[in-house]
Structure 1
């Protein structure tokens, strides 16, 4: 539809299962950050911005 939406999925849901194309996604389940950040999810989310390839994100939008 050409519209940008912000979605929040529960459990293992993701936009692909609804036929949508994600521009950028974050995995905030413990398996994605525990080895590096233990229980500090906020620290993981703060640092994840430093590894995003913005050229790829831009190409998807």
Structure 2
């Protein structure tokens, strides 16, 4: 399925035992890049304050 808009707001990542959003960020980037139809996929990432989530965002979504 192709999406015009994806909002990432889970899973939790704001405390030490939380899994964070790394897998969600990566999966969203793969789906957006694999789009076959016309248009683009816009990604909104909510509350990206964890260091590793910022790194994943820069690596996979800012290209």
Length-normalised TM-score, structure 1: 0.29
**Whose strand fraction is larger, Structure 1's or Structure 2's?**
2
**Whose helix fraction is larger, Structure 1's or Structure 2's?**
1
Larger radius of gyration: 1
Bigger RCO of structures 1 and 2 (CA < 8 A, at least 6 apart): 2
Length-normalised TM-score, structure 2: 0.28
